[in-house]
Amino acid sequence: MKKQWLDWIKAFVIAAVLAIIVRVFLFAPVVVEGPSMLSTLHSSDHLIVSKINYTLGSPERFDVVVFHATEKKDYIKRIIGLPGDHVEYKNDKLYINGEEVAEPFLNENKEQLAAGQTLTDDFTIEQLPGGFEEVPAGHYLVLGDNRGNSTDSRMLGVISDDQIVGEAVLSYWPLNRIEFIN
């Protein structure tokens, strides 16, 4: 009987250690707060964030990331500008280094606009906090998909590598919204 209890205790300790390792180093649950990522993500969506993706590689354009916006608050946004990029929006179109870049994830939001309205107001990276000519090394320009209602790089400036928690990879709640995040 004593051996059986010891086996149960060992199994519990091993499971707890593995859960801590997975939570701290590999994946984290996150709940979306607010409308800034509509229509891609909705407020109260529950996500799995991969912390290991950026340990093994670097963030890529259009990744959806969670980052520390303040000491107490994490935000979720989409990476638009990579280190070395000159970013500009003109007439609701994204230009990276002078080349127009399509943003298909915004199509649903753009369809809901009235004639003559734009989703993203014109700006250049020079007009953002910091006034850089291009995204500095080790930094990223991030925007919410709901451009008219998002606190992002247009207000915060570019974010640094060390602010990034990880990449949002899976929405798992509510059940009717289970999907991998592109």
pLDDT in tens, 135-160: 999 999 999 999 989 999 999 999 99
Q: Is residue 75 part of a domain?
A: yes
Decide: 33 and 41 in contact? Cβ < 8 Å: no
Task: Give backbone dihedrals phi and psi of 180, rounded to 5 degrees, phi first.
Answer: -80, 145
Choose the catalytic residue: 50, 51, 77, 150.
77
Of these residues, 2, 3, 10, 36, which one is catalytic?
36
Instruction: Enter the tokens of residue 75.
Output: 């935000």
Say what the pTM is: 0.84
What CA–CA distance (Å, rounded) separates 179 from 85?
A: 30
> Quick check: 60 and 174 in contact, CB under 8 A?
no
Tally of domains in the chain: 1
Domain-located, residue 152: yes
The enclosing domain of 174 has a CATH number of 2.10.109.10
77 is catalytic: yes
- List, for residues 106-133, the tens digit of each pLDDT value: 888 888 877 778 888 889 999 888 888 9
Query: Considering the domain boundaries, does residue 8 fall inside one?
Result: no
Structural domain of residue 49, as residue ranges? Answer: 27-180
